Amino acid sequence: MEKVLYGKPVAHLVTEQIRVMLSGAIPIPSMAVIKVGHDPASEYYFNNIARQAGKLGIQVKLLENFQTVTTRELLLTIEQLNIDPAIHGIIIQKPLPGQIDEELISNKIDPNKDIDGINPINLGRLFISQKCFVPCTAAAVIEIIRYYGIETRGKHVVILGRSPVVAKPLAGLFLQKTETGNATVTICHSLTQNLPIITQNADILVAAIGKANFVQSGMIRPGAICLDVGINLIQDLNAGESYVGDIDYFSCLSKAGAISPVPGGIGSVTTSILLRNLCVAALDQHGQ
């Protein structure tokens, strides 16, 4: 197995799967992106989606709302998109402003158009192994596992973080009775005690906490597979601004069995997964 688990070839493979889907008798997939206010990270993410979608002939409709938008107004927007037959997928860019009730918004998206997997119906289906839309970052981790042939069966997977968008769905996927599942899963969070003892026992360690270089080499066992979901902007006196993960790549590289880099790892697969979900939604909605 490769030592560095790059995301690019994985994204390329997912894109090829999309091309195959698009070559069939499928209507042109079309998604709506709801954006509220100006957040640099979510703008970067949107531009990435629009660029990749454009290359594939996929339509992306941007709905920009003012920072002052109310929950009720957003719910109405989603209601209209839910019944619009020309829209196959809906995503909401986060973070949402404080006045918005995120729970109501997630609940409102039609589960069949919920290509980001945030509706509780999709999350519930995931945990009982039913067909559903899986949150894209969690799916990206699993796609990397599959692509590089990482054995998960019977392995101890330790996940740092318990967010509903990444860590919890990922735990559900590792528990499924599939070729990328059947693992024993431990979830850790900010109140977990004796964290290094737990991480040192991990065959596969996933970090999704948003703390730059948190995992040091002393926290992993030799040969561990390290998967880094974190994306943290840091300031370096010499190098200026740069992005690093939650795992200290350079300290862990020689000790790990394999490690995903940041940038260039899991984050590079996420957009392709989103567009694949959109194609699946378009096919399903047209009964194919």
Ligand X SMILES: NC(=O)c1ccc[n+]([C@@H]2O[C@H](COP(=O)([O-])OP(=O)(O)OC[C@H]3O[C@@H](n4cnc5c(N)ncnc54)[C@H](OP(=O)(O)O)[C@@H]3O)[C@@H](O)[C@H]2O)c1
135 touches ligand X by CB under 6 A: no
163 touches ligand X by CB under 6 A: yes
Enter the tokens of residue 77: 């927007």
244 touches ligand X by CB under 6 A: no
Q: Which of the residues 73 through 132 are near ligand X (CB under 6 A)?
A: none
Enter the tokens of residue 111: 């589960």
Give the one residue of 198, 231, 252, 256 binding ligand X; rule: CB under 6 A. Answer: 231
Least Å from the CB of residue 26 to ligand X: 26
Q: CB nearer to ligand X: give 4 or 76.
A: 4
Site of tokens 């992306």: 60
Q: Amino acid identity, residue 135? A: P
Whole-angstrom Cα distance, residue 99 to residue 242? 32
Enter the tokens of residue 126: 């995931």
Counting DSSP H helices and E strands in the chain, the numbers are 10, 10
166 touches ligand X by CB under 6 A: yes
Number of residues that bind ligand X (CB under 6 A): 25
Give the one residue of 119, 137, 199, 260 binding ligand X; rule: CB under 6 A. Answer: 137
User: Which residue, 25, 24, 98, 93, is CA-closest to 64?
Assistant: 93
Q: CB nearer to ligand X: give 163 or 200.
A: 163
165 touches ligand X by CB under 6 A: yes
User: 77-100: b or e for each residue (b if 16 or more CB lie within 10 Å)?
Assistant: bbeebbeeeebbbbbbbbebeeeb
Residues paired with 36 in a beta bridge: 65
Distance of CA 210 to the CA centre of its chain: 14
Q: CB nearer to ligand X: give 211 or 221.
A: 211
Q: CB nearer to ligand X: give 87 or 100.
A: 100
Do strands 204-207 and 156-160 pair parallel, antiparallel, or not at all (unpaired)?
parallel
Stretch near ligand X under the rule CB under 6 A, chosen from 30-38, 70-78, 215-223, 227-235: 227-235
The 177-206 contact track toward ligand X, x by CB under 6 A, reads: -----------xxxxx--x-----------
**Hey, CA dihedral for 204, 208, 213, 216, is it positive or negative?**
negative
The 248-267 contact track toward ligand X, x by CB under 6 A, reads: ------------------xx
Residues in touch with ligand X (CB under 6 A): 137, 160-163, 165-167, 188-192, 195, 208-211, 229-232, 266-267, 270
